[in-house]
């Protein structure tokens, strides 16, 4: 059987009762092409029970984390719903406790860093005025990948430029380790020392060709191996 990967979609709250869920189709298509089945897991009561039924967790891109301090009025935040953040935090913790493989993308990488006791840049132009632009739309920038990292093994030879469309980033990965940086030093990937738990700041599901296939393929292979071991 193909491994079952849980994906929490973005929750858009509208009033007390009405709301909606958002998830781009590209990430589901990338998992399907790599040989996995995706199941959407919106906020609900028992993250521990959900984690027990999954073979892996994919945390996709999402909203912004809100800073405690004030920022210039020109900085616009698109905040993640508190209920979403609380659920995602609990589901991530439950998944890592069960040693499920985790692939965390953009917002997901930042959540992984916070789980590890890290800190964020809440707005790169404000917090790191010397950084290069990272809201490039369809643009690309190079990566500096740490030799010997799990990310380097996952990507193999597919270590080309990546897309970039974020204004928040990881400032300190906490107990995680840095796996890649942009040329300006902004952290672009983190990973845990144990198991398969990789966070990337870019959106590999939107890249064509070898890099998407390599990263999603390595993630799904880790999920399949865990399923095959009966863990």
106 is catalytic: yes
Task: Assign 145 to helix, strand or coil.
Answer: strand
Give Cα 25 to chain centroid, integer Å: 16
pLDDT at 186: 97
**Which residue is catalytic, options 106, 115, 166, 167?**
106
pLDDT of 50: 96
Q: Whole domain around residue 100: which residue ranges?
A: 4-228
Residues 32-63 have pLDDT tens digits of 999 999 999 999 999 999 999 999 999 999 99
Reported as a pLDDT band with limits 50, 70 and 90, residue 18 is low
Which string of DSSP letters, residue by residue, matches 1-25?
---EEEEPPEEEEETTTEEEEE--H
All residues at 6 or more sequence positions from 92 whose CB lies less than 8 Å from its CB, including other chains = 57, 59, 102, 104, 111, 112, 115
Given the residues 115, 121, 166, 203, the one annotated as active site: 203
Question: How many domains does the chain fold into?
Answer: 1
Strand-pair category, 4-7 with 56-59: parallel
Q: Would you say 179 and 146 are in contact if contact means Cβ atoms under 8 Å apart?
A: yes
User: Can you give the pLDDT at residue 231?
Assistant: 58
Considering 121, 134, 167, 205, which one is annotated as catalytic? 205
Average model confidence (pLDDT) across the chain:
94
Q: Name the residue with higher pLDDT: 52 or 227.
A: 52
How far apart are the C-alpha atoms of 3 and 47, rounded to whole Å? 18
Does the active-site annotation cover 116?
no
Token pair 């790599």: residue = 34
pLDDT at residue 17 in the model: 62
DSSP 25-88: HHHHHHHHHHT-EEEE--S-S-HHHHHHH-SEEEE----BPPPSS---TT----BPPHHHHHHH
CATH number at residue 101: 3.40.50.880
Q: What is the pLDDT of residues 95-143, one digit of tens each?
A: 999 999 999 999 999 999 999 999 999 999 999 999 999 988 778 999 9
């Amino acid at each position: 059987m193909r491994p079952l990967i849980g994906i929490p979609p973005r929750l858009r709250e509208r009033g007390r009762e009405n709301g909606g869920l958002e998830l781009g189709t590209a990430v589901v298509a990338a998992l399907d092409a790599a040989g996995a089945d995706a199941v959407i897991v919106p906020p609900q009561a028992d993250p521990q029970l959900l984690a027990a039924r999954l073979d892996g967790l994919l945390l996709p891109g999402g909203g912004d984390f809100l800073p405690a301090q004030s920022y210039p009025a020109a900085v616009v935040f698109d905040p993640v719903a508190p209920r979403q953040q609380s659920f995602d935090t609990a589901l991530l913790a439950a998944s890592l406790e069960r040693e499920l493989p985790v692939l965390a993308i953009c917002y997901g990488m930042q959540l992984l860093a916070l789980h590890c006791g890290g800190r964020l840049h809440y707005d790169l132009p404000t917090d790191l005025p010397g950084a290069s632009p990272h809201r490039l739309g369809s643009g690309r920038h190079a990566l500096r990948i740490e030799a010997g990292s799990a990310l380097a093994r996952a990507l193999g030879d597919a270590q080309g430029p990546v897309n970039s469309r974020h204004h928040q980033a990881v400032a300190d990965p906490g107990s995680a380790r840095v796996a890649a940086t942009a040329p300006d030093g902004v952290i672009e990937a983190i990973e845990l020392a144990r198991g398969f738990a990789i966070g990337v700041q870019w959106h590999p599901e939107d890249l064509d060709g070898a890099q998407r296939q390599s990263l999603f393929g390595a993630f799904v292979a880790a999920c399949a191996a865990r399923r095959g071991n009966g863990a």
